[in-house]
Structure 1
Amino acid sequence: MRVAILGAGSIAYGNAALLASLGHDPVLWSPSGQSGRSIARGEPLTATGALTGSFPVRMASSAGEAIAGADAVLFALPANGHRAAMDAAAPHLEAGQVALISSHTSFSGLYLAKKIAERGLDIPVVVWGTTITAGRRTGDASVNVATVRAKVDIATIPVSAAARGLATCQALFGDRFVERPDALAISLSNLNPQNHLGIALCNFTRMEHGETWGQNENNTDSVGRLLEALDAERLAIAEAAGYQVRTIREHYHLSFHVEPGPVGQMARELAARGNGGNGPATIDTRYVLEDAPFGLRPTVLLGKLTGRPATLHQAGIDIFSALYGRDFAGENDLLDEIGLEAMTLADLKALVRDGWSARSH
């Protein structure tokens, strides 16, 4: 299958290498135009780590060129680039295609579904709970793939197209997908923003000084208590919305195979194993710049919709905004376009279930 991959960072490169290794035809597009010039000149994409080899991958000069004739369109870039990439892609999407978002945050799937509905197209939007590959880009035509995940949660907008969405994902990447009820369940299952808030805030000067520091060894008992308090807010919102999601302790247990207990204790066990890697060595990190506006902000709004205030999440946004001298809540360029603040919980649940077909656009 031909797959347009919109993005040219570590996740886009990892997906491109994986797809090529599975016999598909990935075509990358760099929104900035600065990445992948070596690939555009014909150099293969080289992968190391959990996936090794050199793969024939193409680089398109525009979103339209990448999308033309593709079976699927995969958005594989940070959340703060979603709107620009989706705006660039929307005029070129074609009937019969399936859109995939790796990974879903800040209801960008609803934003894309709205752009699709405005064109009157029948294109499902499949949102992933996390990325299939993790790693880092090591050069203009190289990537180190740290892991290829065995299980990834997904949901489709509209839910009626779920079978088509799942079949497309399986045809591309194999049997590794776990269906969730809808895109709201995916959003409520994302622990990264809350966890990154606690870790980054409590180790902020380490980041600012550019120190090398172990993430799990500095996830102390006190930091762990903060993470669990943030998790309690997320769990209360999920319960009020009618969803069952994993707790942070269950996440650590299932993902890292440590015995359940206080998060600080579980982190210590991981640190003793040498698991977890280093934390950010700069304040120019996605732990804040992406997660504060596009991860914490949606949780705060969901807290208002459900009557379960996410006060610690809001405090995190406010503290980070003060530290950086920025308005992180205002930097989210998706939620106003979706109209989330003006919705009721019933409105949102209907929207993730049915898409924009029953609403004016």
Structure 2
Amino acid sequence: MRVAIMGAGAVAFASAAFLIERGHEAVLWSPSGKSTAALATGQPLLSQGKISGEFRPVVAASCEAALAGADVVLIALPANGHKLVMDAMVPLLTPGQAVVISSHASLGGFYLAQRLKERGVELPIIALSTTVLRARRIGETEVKIATIRSKVDLATLPKRLGEAGLELCNALFGERFRQVDSLLAVALSNVNPQSHMALALCNFTRMEQAEAWGQSEHMTASVGRLLEAIDAERLALASAFGVTVRTMREHYSLTYGVPDAPLSETARMLAETQPVTLGPATIDTRYTLEDVPFGLLPLSELGRMAGVPMPLHAAGLAIFSALYGRELTAENDILPLMMAAGLSREQLSA
């Protein structure tokens, strides 16, 4: 299949390598053009880690060129770029295409569906709970893939296309997906915002001082307790909406193939058995600038809608805004539009 990849960061590069290795055609589009400039000159994409080799994705000069002839569109860039690419895609998408959001953030799938409805176009919108790949850009044309996840939740909007959405993702990425009931279930299954909040908050000065620090090594017993307390809020919110989601302990167990255990114990096992995965060496990182406004804020708003207290999520929003000296909640450009349009519990469960 021909897959148009919206974005040119670590996950986009890793996805291109993974898809090409599986026999698909990958097309990269960078909205700014900067991240694909070197590849556009003919240099190969170099991948190391879980996937090793040279790959030659097509580089598109425009969104229109990227989508032309594409069977699937993969949104694979930070959440603060989702609205930009969704708005660019909406006039160009056709009913024969499918959109995969990797990963679903800030209820963006509902936003895309609403924009397409205004055009009278319906197509499968497949939302992933997290990225299939964990990766890091290490150069203009290089990526290091640290993890290929064995289990990822997905949901398709509209629901009646769910089996087709599951089959499509299996064909693209292999049989590693679990179909869940709704896009809301996927949104509540993403544990990255909570995980990154605990790690970034408790290691913020290390990030600011550009220290090299291993994430597993610094998920101490105290950080683990904070993480499990934040996760308890997410689980209570899911229960209030009638949604079943995995615990964060289960997520780590399934992702890394380790026993289900307290998170600090899981971190210890990973530190002993896995290569070191470094945390951010800057405060200009998606761990906070993406996951606070696009991860913590939506759950805080859903908590308000459902009458579920989310004090640690709210505290994270306030503390990180104070640390950065700016209101991070104001940087979410999708959620306010959805709330202003009267997003309801019924729509969220559709």
Per the normalisation by structure 1, the TM-score is 0.92
Distance (whole Å) between structure 1 residues aligned to residue 256 and residue 25 of structure 2: 33
Same amino acid, percent of matched pairs:
52
Distance (whole Å) between structure 2 residues aligned to residue 171 and residue 293 of structure 1: 33
Q: Is the 8 A contact 2:153 2:189 kept in 1?
A: no
1:19 CA displacement: 1.4
Q: Is the 8 A contact 2:6 2:77 kept in 1?
A: yes
1:209 CA displacement: 1.3
Distance (whole Å) between structure 2 residues aligned to residue 308 and residue 129 of structure 1: 22
3-state SS, counterpart of residue 130 of structure 1? coil
Distance (whole Å) between structure 2 residues aligned to residue 26 and residue 335 of structure 1: 30
Structure 2 portions without partners, runs of 5+? none
Quote the residue 1:290 is aligned against.
290
Quote the residue 1:93 is aligned against.
93
Change (3 A) 1:58 1:277: same
Quote the residue 1:135 is aligned against.
135
Quote the residue 2:254 is aligned against.
254
Aligned residues: 350
Q: Deviations over 1:236-286 (max 9, x none)?
A: 111111112122222233333444443233323333445552222211111
1:340 CA displacement: 6.9
2:117 corresponds to 1:114: no
Identify which range, 260-269 or 228-237, moves more after superposition.
Answer: 260-269
Q: Deviations over 1:316-337 (max 9, x none)?
A: 1001101101111111101112
**What code does the residue aligned with 2:331 have?**
E
What are the equivalent positions in structure 2 for 1:321-332 lying under 5 Å apart? 321-332=321-332
Quote the residue 1:334 is aligned against.
334
Distance (whole Å) between structure 2 residues aligned to residue 169 and residue 259 of structure 1: 27
Quote the residue 1:310 is aligned against.
310
Q: Deviations over 1:274-304 (max 9, x none)?
A: 5552222211111110000000001101111
What are the equivalent positions in structure 2 for 1:28-177 lying under 5 Å apart? 28-177=28-177
What are the equivalent positions in structure 2 for 1:163-242 lying under 5 Å apart? 163-242=163-242
Change (3 A) 1:260 1:17: closer
Q: Deviations over 1:158-186 (max 9, x none)?
A: 11111221222222223222111111111
Distance (whole Å) between structure 2 residues aligned to residue 265 and residue 171 of structure 1: 35
1:309 CA displacement: 1.5
Structure 1 portions without partners, runs of 5+? 354-361
Q: Is the 8 A contact 1:12 1:77 kept in 2?
A: yes
Distance (whole Å) between structure 1 residues aligned to residue 49 and residue 271 of structure 2: 22
Q: Is the 8 A contact 2:208 2:282 kept in 1?
A: yes
Distance (whole Å) between structure 2 residues aligned to residue 205 and residue 12 of structure 1: 29
3-state SS, counterpart of residue 26 of structure 2? strand
Q: Is the 8 A contact 1:96 1:122 kept in 2?
A: no
**What code does the residue aligned with 1:96 have?**
G
Distance (whole Å) between structure 1 residues aligned to residue 211 and residue 341 of structure 2: 39
Q: Is the 8 A contact 1:340 1:348 kept in 2?
A: no
Change (3 A) 1:45 1:211: closer
Distance (whole Å) between structure 1 residues aligned to residue 5 and residue 19 of structure 2: 10
Distance (whole Å) between structure 2 residues aligned to residue 138 and residue 205 of structure 1: 23
Q: Is the 8 A contact 2:149 2:255 kept in 1?
A: no
3-state SS, counterpart of residue 213 of structure 2? coil
Per the normalisation by structure 2, the TM-score is 0.94
3-state SS, counterpart of residue 122 of structure 2? coil
